[in-house]
Structure 1
Amino acid sequence: MMRLAIVSAVSVLISTTLANAAEPIALRDMGSFHVGGRLVEISGKPVKEVTFTPGGVPAKVDPNGTYQVEQMYVQYFLPANEKGAYPLLMWHGGGLTGVTYETTPDGREGWLNYFLRKGWAVYNSDAVERGRAGWAQYPDVFKSEPVFLTTANPFERFRIGDGAGSYDPDPAKRKLMPGSQFPNEGYENFVKQNVPRWTTTDDAIIAAYIAEIDRVGPSIILFHSQAGSFGFKVAQARPDKVKALIAIEPAGLGDPAKVDALKGIPTLIVYGDYIEKDSRWPKIRANGIAFADAVKAAGGSVDVVDLPQAGIKGNSHMVMMDKNNAEVAALIQKWLEGKGLTK
């Protein structure tokens, strides 16, 4: 377990970050691409007549034919003064998109900007089925119906509120976790980021992430929640191309039979606060610790940080959006530097 030593320089890093926050971000390039996916044939559907715009002329649309599906969207930002030894890939959690890292619900800078300012080339993605990646037909391609969340669900499930019944439409009446760092005043903006998710697309998501690694080359992966299984499994599939793993509250894990593949990849796992107060997270964390122990038993290096034990308190499941997100980012930056992953 990592101790307070890793946080020794965090206050200095925070001060530097705040001082630099007003400075423009200098890029040598930025852009985007889609990667992965496959072609699928759909047949046996009736031809439809569709009016695309009010008052327009109807057009016949034949839904039978070849479709491009299961691609992923990636946007990249390359700093003018690159200091990271490898690109940093950011992978979001379930029912979310790359917006997770772009900004916070109350308008502060997100981790994308933080790590850009530290000189990392950042690749931020919308995974298969999310945002600008698009989605495919059900049940012809996606084999399950999409899952949608109510406004209250993330508040009560992501350890923002104090359990079931803690949400209220009135921000002043919400029952937050004591000392919560989540920006309650921006919660509505967070809910607006939520998108539908499916439960049968994991293989397609992993395939697209592997395609991203193959295109970008040797990289560091920072991933959150549902992407826990994606990050670890992609690293197991491409251990030569993954140079470090940063798992933020991973809800899923890799293949226990393939932990040997991870022994050469330094790994950091970060957990927030209030885990013992939740009905699900003690088991999720225990599974994560068991997986970390298996990697270490195979000869790997895994550092686990429970933020409250490191003196960083009040974090929800959405660590990168909390009011102390820069403090947690500084801890990650210090870990990366300690692993010799900066220039």
Structure 2
Amino acid sequence: MMTDEPGRDASDALAPIRLRDMGAFHVGGREVSLSGLPRREVVMAEGGQPVALDPNGTYRVEQMYAQYFLAEPASGRPPLAFWHGGGMTGAAWETTPDGRQGWLHAFLRRGWDAYLCDAVERGRSGYAPVPEIWTEGPIVQAQEDCYTRFRIGRPGTRPGPGSAYGNTQFPVQAFGELAAQMVPRWVHTDAAVLRGYLALLERVGRMIVICHSQAGVFGIRAAAARPDLVRAVVALEPASIPQLDAGYRTPTLVLMGDNMDTDPRWPRMRERVRDFARRHPCVTLLSLPELGIAGNSHMLMMDRNSLDLAARVHEWLMTLPPA
């Protein structure tokens, strides 16, 4: 069992966070050369002189950005890798939409080192020219889609306190701040995204992956591909479960929220998760409604009880034997 420091209440107190280091880097990527493209003249800044832009040349694409925070003192535990969901960036784990401290803060206070990632094609990782390198453009999600698909409000409603689920844990008054986090996403880049995450593991070494939604698939795939580099997976409502053979043995905790029965997508996903847990003894399913915890949305790390959920995850991680 990993060594622990003070329990849930003490860890949630807002004492100063102490770091022994912080920084950032990029991993992975590839170079692509383009030729035969027309040159054009552009003005780069207001009042500037026209510049002849030649798009022919070599481009670095499909790299991934990671920002790290190393807690003081060092705990000796594997570091945490935070992988965000679709249309989001590493900001999802930072300050919550209503201004509370997020999971990054919660786990740093408990002595965990943390690596926040912007997946390939997201945020500070950048994206590739379209259609010259990537053949498809991005998807940008409407606020109404996010509001209902993330189970903050019922299908067919618009954002606002009057349309939210009555028991919702999401801070509805701050939905606009969540909408401000949403960025373009692509739907044909899964292989490149997974390569970026694997490159992070190869650089840092053995890690615990905390992943949300779309990244749940990548976290489980990474654990299946490199069990030597993934100590455990914590998946918050994974968007799907990949096909795995019986050899999957990475300790995996899956958290599921509430209000899933009003949209047919979510019960199907919930059943896939339950089947995943039935087939693999290493998987623990934490269904919050079955524990008497009501109202959690798809955005578990932003909900009003997010620190309590972080404490539960921490407690589960502390039960893992040294490896």
Q: How does 1:76-115 map to 2 (within 5 A)?
A: 76-83=68-75, 85-115=77-107
Deviation per CA, 1:15-62: give whole Å up to 9, x if none: 2234x21x1111000000011110011122101111111221111111
Q: Offset of 1:13 from its aligned partner?
A: 4.4
Q: Secondary structure at the match of 2:184?
A: coil
1:64 pairs with 41, 52, 56, which one? 56
CA distance in 2, matches of 1:131, 1:32: 14
Q: Does 1:294 align with 2:282?
A: no
* TM-score of the pair, normalised by structure 2: 0.95
Q: Offset of 1:334 from its aligned partner?
A: 0.8
Q: Does 1:283 align with 2:268?
A: yes
CA distance in 1, matches of 2:287, 2:117: 26
Gaps of 5+ in 2: 1-5
Q: Does structure 2 conserve the Cα–Cα contact (< 8 Å) formed by 1:236 and 1:259?
A: no
Q: Secondary structure at the match of 1:329?
A: helix
2:176 pairs with 164, 188, 192, which one? 188
Q: Does 1:273 align with 2:258?
A: yes
Letter in 1 for 2:11: T
Number of positions where the alignment pairs a residue of Structure 1 with one of Structure 2: 318
Determine the structure 2 residue equivalent to 1:150: 142
Q: Does 1:131 align with 2:123?
A: yes
Larger helix percent? 1
Determine the structure 1 residue equivalent to 2:39: 47
Q: Secondary structure at the match of 2:138?
A: coil
CA distance in 2, matches of 1:311, 1:201: 38
1:341/1:278 CA distance change after superposition, 3 Å: farther
1:259/1:191 CA distance change after superposition, 3 Å: farther
Q: Offset of 1:276 from its aligned partner?
A: 1.8
Q: Does structure 2 conserve the Cα–Cα contact (< 8 Å) formed by 1:84 and 1:119?
A: no
Q: Does structure 2 conserve the Cα–Cα contact (< 8 Å) formed by 1:112 and 1:122?
A: yes
Determine the structure 2 residue equivalent to 1:317: 298
Q: Does structure 1 conserve the Cα–Cα contact (< 8 Å) formed by 2:33 and 2:58?
A: yes
Q: How does 1:171-182 map to 2 (within 5 A)?
A: 171-172=160-161, 174-182=162-170
Determine the structure 1 residue equivalent to 2:189: 201
Q: Secondary structure at the match of 2:36?
A: coil
Q: Secondary structure at the match of 1:321?
A: coil
* TM-score of the pair, normalised by structure 1: 0.89
Q: Does structure 2 conserve the Cα–Cα contact (< 8 Å) formed by 1:220 and 1:243?
A: yes
CA distance in 1, matches of 2:292, 2:322: 25
Letter in 2 for 1:199: V
Q: Does structure 2 conserve the Cα–Cα contact (< 8 Å) formed by 1:27 and 1:79?
A: yes
Q: Offset of 1:140 from its aligned partner?
A: 2.0
Gaps of 5+ in 1: 1-11
